[in-house]
Amino acid sequence: MKTSVKYAPKNLGDVIYPNTAVRTRIQAYMSGQLEGNILLWGPNGTGKTTVAELLPHYVGGDAAFIETQSFDEILKKEDLRGYIANSCSIANFSNSKYFMVFHEFDNAKANVSKFWTVIEEYADQLMLIITSNDPMSIHKSLRSRCDEIHFPALTARQVLPRALKILAAEGANVPEKQVLHYLTQIEHFGDLRKYFAKLDEIIYLSKTGGTFPPAPNVILNSNKIKLSLV
């Protein structure tokens, strides 16, 4: 099984946050200290989707009522206001908010103006969580109704602690310095999918006795990896 699947975050505490500021703001929404709609934006593979999917369960608990239809289906509804009003009523019956979680919302085109009007009307009964790679493509009237949280590209050092834990769990005994070197080679992507793919490669080579790519100040000896002392 791919490490990206096997070690996918099961809760928001497992998420690799890009910085303390982002972690603090997400925790504030988790605890209810902050309320409202949020826009999570940044490049691919930075944890936006994971946070967006998990957050409603912290805010709304086990009874969280989460929309299952896509934003395209929602925006095409003839009676958009009636649909959202009914969804809010169902959620309120379960003592929950109505959560609308939409990914790559910069692709939304139809009826966006009508959408934000209804969102404003039911602001106290619903929470909109949207993700985007290009937030400026989202109409400013909708952005103004969201708290914008930037998820910048993840660095190799930010991923390193989780990478080392995963490698240890998989029995891959690779020195920290070498792991950091390999992760740094793909740091320009800043994408967790790329980092996890590299971990899959390291685990495979470790388990099969394969030859690791060269790294500074590291030598191979009888298929066991050691730090060079020279």
The pLDDT assigned to 207 comes to 86
DSSP assignment of 179-200, as one string? HHHHHHTTTTT--HHHHHHHHH
For 160-199, write each residue's pLDDT tens digit.
Answer: 999 999 999 999 988 999 999 999 999 999 999 999 999 9
The pLDDT assigned to 222 comes to 37
Flag whether pLDDT at 61 surpasses 80. Answer: yes
The pLDDT assigned to 105 comes to 86
Token pair of 8 as six digits: 């996918």
User: Is there a contact between 155 and 183 (Cβ–Cβ < 8 Å)?
Assistant: no
Average pLDDT score, the chain = 89
pTM above 0.85, yes or no: yes
User: How many whole angstroms separate alpha carbon 63 and alpha carbon 40?
Assistant: 23
Helix/strand/coil (H/E/C) assignment for every residue in 70-92: CHHHHHCCCCHHHHHHHHHHHHH
Amino acid at 92: N
User: How many whole angstroms separate alpha carbon 78 and alpha carbon 85?
Assistant: 13
For 33-59, write each residue's pLDDT tens digit.
Answer: 999 999 999 999 999 999 999 999 999
For 119-176, write each residue's pLDDT tens digit.
Answer: 999 999 999 999 999 999 888 888 999 999 999 999 999 999 999 999 999 999 889 9
